[in-house]
Amino acid sequence: MQAEWGSAMSKKITKYILMLICIPMVILLGAVIFDDKQPAFISLMVVILSLIPVFLTFEKKNLGTRKLIIISVMTALSVIGRFIFAVVPGFKPVTAIVVITAMFFGGETGFLTGVLSAFISNFYFGQGPWTPFQMFAWGMLGLLAGLFSRPLKNSKICLVLYGVFAGMVYSFIMDIWTVLWYSSEFNLNMYLAALAATAPYTVTYCVSNVAFLLFLVKPIGDKLTRIRIKYGLS
C-alpha cells in the first residue's frame, strides 16, 4: 500500500513539474533564444511534454485508449468550433470546450486538449512563435479547471467567474508573447501597455467564455458523465 502511494505521488509530482515548470521554460527559452526561427520545433516539444502527464495516468491499456479517444473527440470539437467562429474575432468556444473536458475528465486531460486544440487549429489559422503561448494558455486553463472541477460543476456563479478569469488569463499570457516579440527581454511597462491596448479583446474573450460555458456545459457534460460511468474512466 505504501509503495503504491509513493508511486502515485511520484507520478503526480512529475506531471506538475512537466506542466508548470518544464513546458513554460521550453516556451520562454524558445521565444528568447530562437525568436521566430523555430516555432514549429517548440510547439512539437510542448505537445510531446504534454502527452507525458496523460500517459502517466494510464493504468490499464483499454482505459488509456478510451481516454485518448475522448481527448481526440474533444479536441476535434474545439478545432471545429474555432473554424466556425473564425469570422468573429475573440469569440470562440475553444476555452469552454477545454474547461468542460477538464471538469469531467481531469486537469491532465484538459491540459492536453487545450495544447492540441491550439496546435492543430493553427495549421489553418497560421503557425508561428505565438502558437506555443496559445498552447500553454489553453492548457493551463484546462489544468486549473480540473483542479476546481467540483465548484465549477456545482455552481453556475463559479462557472461564470471562471469564464471571466479564463479570458483574462489567456490575454495576460498572450501579451507576454507580444512583449517578447517586440523585445528580446521582458519589459514591464511595455507589458502593461499591451494589456491596456488589448483590453477590448480581453472583454470579448471573457464574454465569449461565459456564453459558451453556460450553453455547452450541460449537453456536453451530460454526455461525458455517461461515458465516464459506462467505461469506468476518471
The class of domain 2-231 in CATH terms is mainly alpha
Q: Using CA of residue 227, residue 11, residue 172, residue 168, what is the dihedral sign? A: positive
Confidence of residue 157 (pLDDT cuts 50, 70, 90): very high
What are the pLDDT digits (tens) for 165-200? 999 999 999 999 888 877 767 888 899 999 999 999
What is the average pLDDT value for the chain, to the nearest integer? 88
In this predicted structure, the answer to whether residue 53 has a pLDDT above a threshold of 90 is no
- The confidence score (pLDDT) of residue 3 equals 55
Cell of 16: 506538475
- The confidence score (pLDDT) of residue 59 equals 56
- The confidence score (pLDDT) of residue 217 equals 97
Angstrom distance (rounded) from CA 207 to CA 217? 15
Cβ atoms within 10 Å of 84's Cβ, excluding its own: 11
- The confidence score (pLDDT) of residue 4 equals 59
What are the pLDDT digits (tens) for 79-130? 999 999 988 888 999 999 999 999 999 999 999 999 999 999 999 998 888 8
Sorted by where each begins, the domain ranges of the chain are 2-231
In this predicted structure, the answer to whether residue 224 has a pLDDT above a threshold of 80 is yes
In this predicted structure, the answer to whether residue 58 has a pLDDT above a threshold of 80 is no
- Give CA separation, 73 vs 50, 82, 98, 162, 223, in Å: 17, 14, 11, 23, 12
- The confidence score (pLDDT) of residue 12 equals 82
138 vs 182, residue with greater confidence: 138
Torsion of Cα atoms, 7 then 8 then 14 then 20, to 10°: -160
**What's the predicted TM-score (pTM) here?**
0.90
Angstrom distance (rounded) from CA 48 to CA 116? 10
- The confidence score (pLDDT) of residue 81 equals 95
Q: How does DSSP assign 173-215, residue by residue?
A: HHHHHHHHHHSSS--HHHHHHHHHHTHHHHHHHHHHHHHHHHH
- The confidence score (pLDDT) of residue 33 equals 74
Give me the percent of the chain exceeding a pLDDT of 90: 57
Q: Of 20-24, 73-77, 133-137, which gets the smallest average pLDDT?
A: 20-24
What is the residue whose three cell numbers read 521550453? 26
- The confidence score (pLDDT) of residue 182 equals 75
